Amino acid sequence: MTDCVFCRIAAGEIPADIVAGDDEFVAFKDLHPVAPEHVLVIPRRHVASLDRIGDLGEPAAGRLLAFVALVAEKAGVTEGGYRVIVNTGRNAGQEVQHVHVHILGGEPLGPMRCTRGSGS
């Protein structure tokens, strides 16, 4: 997809701070990190969201997770631990409609989710 920013990064049309890459996946530093290490991992093939991950095929979906683990090691966060996040859809905060895995680490990350500010 020529209008997808992540497809253009994967194709080398838009510069990014590449951490790792192979024929199927590419990892690059997030432009707006929320942790000392914040890397995005994407498939080179356009897949809109985790809901459509089957479009990659099961073997490639499994290799995606293995690639995420390799990137976490390259980023130096495996010893202290890291968080993997895949936002899917509007309510989850998915901003780019190309499946991407966030790897966060480099410091204690706190709770998984803030509690809601409700009146109860």
Residue 65 is classified by DSSP as: H
Which of 102, 113, 100 minimizes the C-alpha distance to 9?
A: 100
CA atoms in the 13 A half-sphere facing the CB of 116? 3
Known active-site residue 100: yes
Cα separation, 83 vs 72, whole angstroms: 9
In the set 38, 98, 100, 102, the catalytic residue is: 100
Residue 49 CB partners (closer than 8 Å, separation 6+): 88, 89, 94, 97, 99
Enumerate the active-site residues.
100
